[in-house]
Amino acid sequence: MLTLEDARKALAKGSVIIFAGPCTVVYEGRATSRLGVGERLVLIKKDRSILVHRPTGHEPVNWQPAGSMIDFLTENGLPVIRASNANELLKISFTAQPSLMVFDLRDTAEFEMYASEEDMKKAVLAKPSLVEPGFKPLEEERQVKRTGRVDILGLDALGRLVVVELKRKPATPEDVRQLSAYVESLNSEFGRKPRAILAAPSTTKAARREMEKTSVEFRCLTPRRCMQVLREAKGLDSYL
């Protein structure tokens, strides 16, 4: 059975601490919130961020960011957690002895985030040379008669119309056929056949065979590369 003294040591040591039990929660800061008695989990992390979780909902009901001043006190023989910073105070008062758990967690892995197709489109619009040098986007999500929406319509360095279709997964024969259908539709609409570029991280073998039968060109473009471009373009933090 761990005690508050163990929690203090764990906090000093940089362990992750969980309290589980019935408590009330008061927050005073920019606004004020009060939460009556209920059974909750309180997580205190290595960086002194603190989260109060109810049994439902993916959001914590209260939380304080990293760097809070955290104190473990006792009021009427029961634990009280105070987490504060310059302008805010979060006070968690247990109404019965909580369970207390301590975990020494080591985690140095890098979180890798890869873009969606929508993100890939944003990256190409931010940096059209991802498709090819001299590519100029004209229109995105253009409706093509009866066949769907083209990701990006643009002009190449020689002024020829180019249809670009973006895929975040290996291109399939179905992707090639879809793009060929756009080419035919745009051909009948404009009276000239556009170039067609399928930009994806790779292709399946079947897709490569399908491409040999058509005029669809392949361009290697990974979601990861797009993410880098977006990151450079506006800073990942503001982007995510």
- Taking the least distance from each CB to its own copies, the nearer of 42 and 211 is 42
Q: Which is nearer to its own copies, 153 or 171 (by Cβ)?
A: 171
CB of 207 to its own copies, least distance (A): 20
Residues at the contact surface with its own copies, assessed by CB under 8 A: 14, 16, 18, 20, 24, 30-41, 43, 45-47, 49-51, 53-58, 60-61, 63-66, 99, 101, 103-116, 118-119, 168, 223
Output the six-digit token pair for 36.
């009556």
User: First vs last Cα of the chain: how many Å apart?
Assistant: 42
- The CB-of-69 to its own copies minimum distance in angstroms stands at 15
Choose between 24 and 172: whose C-beta lies nearer to its own copies.
24
Q: How far is the CB of 231 from its own copies (least distance, A)?
A: 13
The tokens 């253009």 sit on which residue? Answer: 142
Query: Quick one: 32 or 76, whose CB is closer to its own copies?
Result: 32
* Rounded Cα–Cα distance for residues 203 and 227 (Å): 20
CB of 215 to its own copies, least distance (A): 30
Contact (Cβ atoms closer than 8 angstroms) between residue 72 and residue 4? yes
Give least dist CB 191 to its own copies, A: 38
Residue 186 corresponds to which amino acid?
Answer: L
Shortest CB 111 distance to its own copies, Å = 5
Bridge partner list, 164: 152, 197
Given the DSSP bridges, would you call strands 78-85 and 69-75 parallel, antiparallel or unpaired?
Answer: antiparallel
Cα angle: 23, vertex 29, 32; to 5 degrees:
55
111 or 159: CB nearest its own copies: 111
Cβ proximity to its own copies, 100 vs 196, nearer residue: 100
Strand 88-94, strand 62-64: pairing: unpaired
C-alpha 171: how far from chain center: 23
What letter represents residue 14's amino acid? G
Beta-strand pair 148-155/32-44: unpaired
Residues across the chain:
240
